[in-house]
Amino acid sequence: MAQDKSSARKAYWRANLGLMGVLLAIWFTVSFGFGILLRPWLDLVSLGGAPLGFWFAQQGSILTFIVLIFYYAWAMNRLEARFADRLGSDDMPDPGAPAATQEDAS
């Protein structure tokens, strides 16, 4: 049982890291990529008068960031629900857990 829990934790953490990796790659691409490094090429195309690279630097990246965070929040809730039965967070036999309560902290 404990074995199962520890492997479930590892699987959960790996899934989380994988998701983060993809989202951070998008984060990097829209801002540092489209908005900065690839701008000379993107600027050849224009969007409503705004060269595309310039638009990504001033508006497009921000819009993407908002979507990324909401997607991550949603995907993590789904991931946690999927692992919930294998990883009950309430009955964690973790010695570190009690120190987490606010009473202990203050």
Q: Residue numbers of the site for another protein (CB under 8 A)?
A: 9, 12-13, 20, 23-24, 27, 31-32, 35-37, 43, 46-51, 54-55, 57-59, 61-63, 65-66, 68-70, 72-73, 76-77, 79-80, 83-84, 87, 89, 92, 94-97, 99-102, 105-106
Beta bridge partners of 46: 51
Q: To the nearest whole angstrom, how small is the minimum distance from the Cβ of residue 19 to another protein?
A: 9
Q: To the nearest whole angstrom, how small is the minimum distance from the Cβ of residue 57 to another protein?
A: 4
What HEC string does the chain produce? CHHHHHHHHHHHHHHHHHHHHHHHHHHHHHHHHHHHHCHHHHCCCEECCEEHHHHHHHHHHHHHHHHHHHHHHHHHHHHHHHHCCCCCCCCCCCCCHHHHCHHHHC
Q: Tell me whether residue 4 or residue 94 sits nearer to another protein (CB atom).
A: 94
Q: Tell me whether residue 1 or residue 95 sits nearer to another protein (CB atom).
A: 95
Assigned token pair, 62 = 């921000």
Q: To the nearest whole angstrom, how small is the minimum distance from the Cβ of residue 37 to another protein?
A: 7
